Structure 1
């Protein structure tokens, strides 16, 4: 079996924004499907603000990927899709993990040889080479990954503090070696990357998009006393302590 996809990568209106392994981020330079003046005006200002539609293309060759449920637009080639759920016990574990992390309970697996196109999005798509690392991911960012990665749920070290800090009590984590695709609110080149060596990062708000799972997360008062916290106007802050890396959205 063989196939050719025409007018996609070879389309002059499509740019390759990023590529890692079999994962390719396609970006549409202009929206050529405007059917009204209002849509054309909106498209003009969106393009000036770097708001362009993007699509993730995943090409697999006798391999397997996991994907966010409902993200697939179409597939071409010889592959099979499974839920990756084994029995009622597996379904219940997925339902629980989906509920606590804010992601879909069932994440489809695509195995075989072919091309998978995901739905267009105006969000930014990050391709991350997880190289024998273990990283935690902010709720709702997961898009797809190679199944060589172990995707699991990690709990906060202090659950009551996590609730106070505006962060989820649980997060997805990716461990091992493989490509991870995230759907983020900012372009990757805008992320502030902070590397800690037995040090402390305090963040006022949930601006952290990813962080090393080696870091301890707590929520603490910004001042030493309640009065001091109130006077500073900050109150509680998210604290990442130890050795590892944190990726922050600056805005």
Structure 2
């Protein structure tokens, strides 16, 4: 048995812009499936790099021959691919429910195992492929940034330090932590070319707002006042800042999410 794919993954209107591990990122140069009324908007959107992107998984290139992805992300699959819930018993199901409720991510992330190809739903966001070993002991990602990963990678809920200050700063109590060896696919509202990478060695990075896409699990993440007193914070014009302290890496955007428009699917 065999499947022959034509006009995929690459074609006259699509090119592969990134590859790592079993992942490929497919970018459509223009949105050709538009009405005459939408043609002008689509044309100028493509000139400004507002394009549909699609994550493609080649299962036979993963060491575990399986991937985990965000619920509802799969568009189609071809070959000997078996979907699984990723739940390994009642205890594992309970842990996943708790983790999902506190991180804001889907509680049950489906796994796909086999030797075929899986294509995820296209998105106008940017897709980042990250090798987990480059992030030290593990990676913590911002809410909504996770897209897919090798199924051998462990997922955990990581609690933010100093919860009271962190709640006042508008952050969630928990973030999704990823641990192990493999490749992680993330979604970003700005392109990789604009992302800032900060490598800390026993130092501190302070960011005004939730601009970070991901950071090393070895870093202590807190939300703190800009000064020690409320009066000082008011005088400086700032309230709370996100603080990353220790040794590790932080990847953050130069602009807030709302400043780049509605980058939804």
TM-score bracket for the superposition, by shorter chain length: over 0.9
How much does 1:210 deviate? Answer: 0.6
Q: Deviations over 1:67-122 (max 9, x none)?
A: 11100000000021110113333222212211111111110111111000000100
Q: Contact (CA 8 Å) 2:3, 2:79: kept in 1 or not?
A: yes
Indicate whether 1:2 and 2:20 are aligned.
no
Unaligned runs of at least 5 residues, structure 1:
none
Q: Describe the SS at the equivalent of 1:97.
A: helix
Aligned to 1:46: 45
1:113-128 to 2 correspondence within 5 Å?
A: 113-128=115-130
How much does 1:198 deviate? Answer: 1.0
Provide the rounded CA distance (Å) in 1 between the counterparts of 2:10 and 2:230.
61
1:37-186 to 2 correspondence within 5 Å?
A: 37=37, 39-61=38-60, 63-131=65-133, 133-186=137-190
Q: Describe the SS at the equivalent of 1:7.
A: coil
Q: Describe the SS at the equivalent of 1:214.
A: coil
How much does 1:225 deviate? Answer: 2.2
How much does 1:188 deviate? Answer: 1.5
Provide the rounded CA distance (Å) in 2 between the counterparts of 1:141 and 1:236.
22
Q: Describe the SS at the equivalent of 1:177.
A: coil
1:197-208 to 2 correspondence within 5 Å?
A: 197-208=201-212
What's the TM-score, normalizing by structure 1? 0.95
Q: Describe the SS at the equivalent of 1:55.
A: strand
Q: Contact (CA 8 Å) 2:77, 2:118: kept in 1 or not?
A: yes
Q: Describe the SS at the equivalent of 2:34.
A: coil
Normalized per residue, which structure has more strand?
A: 1
Q: Contact (CA 8 Å) 2:126, 2:190: kept in 1 or not?
A: yes
How much does 1:58 deviate? Answer: 0.3
Provide the rounded CA distance (Å) in 2 between the counterparts of 1:133 and 1:2.
40
How much does 1:224 deviate? Answer: 3.0
Q: Describe the SS at the equivalent of 2:79.
A: strand
Q: Contact (CA 8 Å) 1:133, 1:177: kept in 2 or not?
A: no
Unaligned runs of at least 5 residues, structure 2:
256-265
Paired positions, count:
250
Q: Describe the SS at the equivalent of 1:219.
A: strand
Q: Describe the SS at the equivalent of 1:183.
A: strand
Provide the rounded CA distance (Å) in 1 between the counterparts of 2:112 and 2:9.
22
Q: Contact (CA 8 Å) 1:101, 1:140: kept in 2 or not?
A: no
